[in-house]
Chain A
Amino acid sequence: MVDISNTPGALAPSPAAAPKRVALKRVLGPAHVWGLGVGIVLVGEFMGWNFAVGKGGAIAALTACWLAGILYTCVAMIDSEVTSTVAAAGGQYAQAKHIIGPLAAFNVGLYLVMAYTMLEVSNAIVTGDLIQAFAANMGLEGEVDKRAYMVLTIVFLSWLNYRGVLATLTINYIITAIAFAAIIALFVAVNPLTPGTVVMHDQLLTGLPYGGLGILAAMHFGLWFYLGIEGTTQAAEEVRSPARSLPLGTLTGIMTLLIAATITWYIGAGLMPWEYLGQAITPLYDAARLTGSKPLEVFLFVGTLFATLASANGCINDASRAWFAMGRDRYMPVWFGGVHPTYRTPFRSIVFFVPIAILFAISTPLDQTITLSILSGLLGYTIMAIGVIIFRRKWPLDSIARGYIHPLHPLPAILLLTLCAITYVAVFLGYGTQLLAMMVFYIVASAWFVLHRYKYCRRGEQFTMPWPKPRGY
C-alpha cells in the first residue's frame, strides 16, 4: 500500500538521482486496517481450514484452531509493537531491514510475496471450484470451465489494484463485512442453542482417528484460520495514525477471527462426516447446502465468493507492495520500484506476478498451494519472534518512542517460537517434501542475494528511521 508519487521512469539509475522521493498517501483508518487484515484472512473460514480435519480429525482440528489462535495472538501482539514503531511500507520487510539486517529483510520480503501470492492462487482455485459447483447445484445447463474463472479472478483483481489503493481497500471492507455476515447467518441457521436439530456433533464426531499425532499434524492447516492477519502492517505508510490505527485494527482483527474460527468449526464439524469435511474445497457452502435452505445456500455462495475475492484482492495489494519495496531498495531490480504516473500504484510489481499466479492456479491442487502459503507465513513468524527479541535488545524501551508496547516480553516471542517449531513438524507429517522444497527455494535465493544481488544495494541508506544507534554496534 503505497502512495506513490511520481518516480523517475523505469530503470532509474539511483535513488540519489531521483527527482522526487516516493511518498505514500495517508488515507486509511483503523477500519481499513481491520478490513485489510480480516479481508485477507476471512477466506480461511470458508476454505482450507478443513484440511486440518483431514490431517487429524475434527477434534484435532479444533485443538489446532485454538493453538493457532494463540500463535496468532502472539503474532498480533508482537507485530503491533514493531509496526507501530517501524511504520514504513513493506511491513515486516522494512522491520527486518531496520532490526536484523539486509539478508533477513530480503528473505522476509520473499516470505511475504510467496505467502500472499500463493494465498491469492488458492483463492482463485476456490472461486473457480465454487462457481462450477454452484452452477451444477442450481441445475444450469452446460459445463462451466472453472479454470476460466480462476484466470478471470486473478486478472480482474490485478487490474483493480493497478488502478489504485483507496478504492480497492474500500471495496475490500464492504465485501469482507458481507462475507462475515454470511458466516453469522449460517451459524444462526444451524440452531446452535438446540444441538441435534440441525448440527449433530454427538453423531458425527469420531474422536481422534490418527491418535495424538493427528493433533500435531492438524496444526499445519490450523494456521489457515488466521494466516495473513499480519498483512495489516503493509498499510503502515498509508494509515493516518499508525501508532493508534495499526494496533487497534490488528488486535480487533485477531479477535474477530478467533470468534469466526470457532463458529466455523462448530458448523462444519456438526454437519459433515470428518472424512468429507477433511477434503472439501468449499466447506461452508457445503454446510449451507446441508441445511436444505436455498436462500442460505445462495448467501453462502455469495459469502464464499466475496471472501475469496476480498482475500485475493488484499493479497495482490500486499505482495506487490512488498515486491515494490524490495525493488525500491534494490533488493530486486529497480524497475520494480516504478510507480504508475496516473494511478500512483506499483503497477510493474502487480503485473509481474499475474502469470505466476495463473500458472499455479490452473494446474496445482489447493492443499499444495495452501501449504506453500502457510510455509512462507511460518518462516515469517519464526523470524518475527527472533526479530522482536533483537529489537528490544538493540533499542530498549527507554531508547525510542513506541506506539504500542506488547506485554510480558519475551514470553510471547518464546511461545511463538515454540508453536512455530511444532508447526514445522506438523507440516513435515504428510508434506515433508514440500517443506524441503520450500527451504531449498529460500536457501538458493539467499545465496543469490549474498553472492550477486546485494552489490547493487546502498548500505547506509537502508536505515531510514530517526533512531539512535542500536546498542552493541
Chain B
Amino acid sequence: MSKAPYEPPTQSVIGQIVDAVLMLALVLVTLYLPLLLGLAGGGTTTKTFDNPTWEALGQNAAMAGQWEKLGFAPAQAAEIIGKRFDYEFSWVALAITGVVIIGYFVGMLRWSDKEYRDVIAEHFDDRPGAGRSGGA
C-alpha cells in the first residue's frame, strides 16, 4: 500500500539564521572552548634540568651537533627534551570513552535505519514500476 509523501514545513528566514548560528555555537562551545581554556590535550609531564649539558640531556655528539645547527643550546633544548607524554591512564576512563563511541555508532545506525525505511518506502512505493533493476 502506498504511503503519502511527507510534506516538510517551509523554514522561515529567521529559523535558518538561528540554525546556522546554533551550529556555529556548537562548534565554539564543544571544540573551541576546551582548547581556549586549556582543557584539551596536555597529557604530558615536564622534567626540569639544572644547568643542562648535552650529556645530561641524553644527547650523543651527533644529536648535539644537529641541535646546534638548528640554533638550540642545551638550556633551550632541555625544555623540549624534558617534555614527555604521560601514558598513565585510568581503565575506567578508557571504558567510558569506548562506551561513548560504541553507543554513538549504535544509536546513529539504529536511528538512521528507522529514517531510511521511511525514505525507501516513500521512494519506491509511490512510483509506478518501482523495484525494477537500475544501474549506476
B136 engages A276 (CB within 8 Å):
no
Among the 9-residue stretches A30-38, A63-71, A141-149, A437-445, the one with 4 or more Cβ atoms under 8 Å from chain B is A437-445
Closest A residue to B127 by CB, please name it: A460
Whether, in the assembled complex, B109 has its beta carbon less than 8 Å from a beta carbon of chain A, the answer is yes
A104 engages B109 (CB within 8 Å):
yes
Give the A interface residue count (CB, 8 A). Answer: 102
- A221 and B70 alpha carbons, distance in the complex (Å): 24
Query: In the assembled complex, how far is the CB of residue B63 from the closest CB belonging to chain A, in whole angstroms?
Result: 4
Chain A residues positioned under 8 Å from B118 (CB to CB): 459
- A403 and B126 alpha carbons, distance in the complex (Å): 29
A359 engages B77 (CB within 8 Å):
no
Q: Given the interface contacts A460-B123, A463-B123, does A432 sit within 8 Å of B100 by beta carbon?
A: no
- A86 and B134 alpha carbons, distance in the complex (Å): 13
Q: Select A368's contact among B35, B109, B123, beta carbons within 8 Å.
A: B35
Whether, in the assembled complex, A436 has its beta carbon less than 8 Å from a beta carbon of chain B, the answer is yes
Query: In the assembled complex, how far is the CB of residue A379 from the closest CB belonging to chain B, in whole angstroms?
Result: 9
Chain B residues positioned under 8 Å from A465 (CB to CB): 134, 136
Whether, in the assembled complex, B1 has its beta carbon less than 8 Å from a beta carbon of chain A, the answer is no
Q: Select B35's contact among A271, A364, A445, beta carbons within 8 Å.
A: A364
Chain B residues positioned under 8 Å from A168 (CB to CB): none
Chain B residues positioned under 8 Å from A365 (CB to CB): 35, 41
Whether, in the assembled complex, B56 has its beta carbon less than 8 Å from a beta carbon of chain A, the answer is no
Among A302-358, those with CB < 8 Å from B are 330, 332-336, 352, 356
Chain A residues positioned under 8 Å from B80 (CB to CB): 275-276, 279
Chain B residues positioned under 8 Å from A336 (CB to CB): 20
Whether, in the assembled complex, B128 has its beta carbon less than 8 Å from a beta carbon of chain A, the answer is no
Chain B residues positioned under 8 Å from A101 (CB to CB): 109, 111-116, 119
Chain B residues positioned under 8 Å from A18 (CB to CB): none
Chain B residues positioned under 8 Å from A428 (CB to CB): 89, 94, 97
Chain B residues positioned under 8 Å from A204 (CB to CB): 62-63, 66
What 0/1 pattern do residues 447 to 468 of A give for CB contact below 8 A with B? 0101011111111111101111
Chain A residues positioned under 8 Å from B133 (CB to CB): 399-400, 468
Whether, in the assembled complex, B49 has its beta carbon less than 8 Å from a beta carbon of chain A, the answer is no
A425 engages B94 (CB within 8 Å):
yes
Closest A residue to B118 by CB, please name it: A459
Q: Classify the interface of chain A: helix, strand, loop or mixed.
A: helix
- A432 and B87 alpha carbons, distance in the complex (Å): 11
A104 engages B112 (CB within 8 Å):
yes
Of listed B6, B85, B107, B130, residue having the most chain A CB within 10 A: B85
Among A419-440, those with CB < 8 Å from B are 424-425, 428-440
Chain B residues positioned under 8 Å from A401 (CB to CB): 135-136
B5 engages A460 (CB within 8 Å):
yes
Q: Given the interface contacts A273-B59, A359-B32, does A102 sit within 8 Å of B66 by beta carbon?
A: no
- A437 and B31 alpha carbons, distance in the complex (Å): 6
B23 engages A332 (CB within 8 Å):
yes
- A271 and B112 alpha carbons, distance in the complex (Å): 50
Whether, in the assembled complex, A392 has its beta carbon less than 8 Å from a beta carbon of chain B, the answer is no
B104 engages A102 (CB within 8 Å):
no
- A199 and B74 alpha carbons, distance in the complex (Å): 22
Q: Given the interface contacts A102-B119, A104-B109, A402-B136, does A456 sit within 8 Å of B66 by beta carbon?
A: no
A55 engages B85 (CB within 8 Å):
yes
B120 engages A470 (CB within 8 Å):
yes
Query: In the assembled complex, how far is the CB of residue A366 from the closest CB belonging to chain B, in whole angstroms?
Result: 11
A429 engages B81 (CB within 8 Å):
no
Q: Given the interface contacts A271-B66, A279-B80, A432-B89, does A466 sit within 8 Å of B19 by beta carbon?
A: no
Query: In the assembled complex, how far is the CB of residue A117 from the closest CB belonging to chain B, in whole angstroms?
Result: 9
Among B82-132, those with CB < 8 Å from A are 83-87, 89, 93-94, 97-98, 100-101, 104-105, 107-109, 111-124, 126, 130-132
Query: In the assembled complex, how far is the CB of residue A9 from the closest CB belonging to chain B, in whole angstroms?
Result: 12
Of listed A213, A433, A446, residue having the most chain B CB within 10 A: A433
- A430 and B109 alpha carbons, distance in the complex (Å): 29
A433 engages B39 (CB within 8 Å):
yes
Among B32-91, those with CB < 8 Å from A are 32, 34-36, 39-44, 59-63, 66-67, 69-70, 72, 77, 80-81, 83-87, 89
- B residues apposed to A, CB below 8 Å: 5-6, 8-11, 13, 15-17, 19-20, 22-24, 26-27, 30-32, 34-36, 39-44, 59-63, 66-67, 69-70, 72, 77, 80-81, 83-87, 89, 93-94, 97-98, 100-101, 104-105, 107-109, 111-124, 126, 130-136
Starting from the known contacts A275-B80, A433-B39, A466-B135, 15 additional A-B residue pairs (CB-CB under 8 Å) come to A14-B8, A101-B109, A203-B60, A333-B15, A364-B32, A429-B43, A432-B89, A434-B41, A435-B97, A446-B108, A452-B19, A455-B8, A459-B122, A460-B123, A467-B134
Question: Could you write out 15 A-B pairs with CB less than 8 Å apart?
Answer: A11-B13, A104-B112, A204-B63, A332-B23, A365-B35, A399-B133, A430-B86, A433-B34, A439-B101, A441-B26, A441-B27, A444-B26, A450-B111, A456-B11, A468-B131
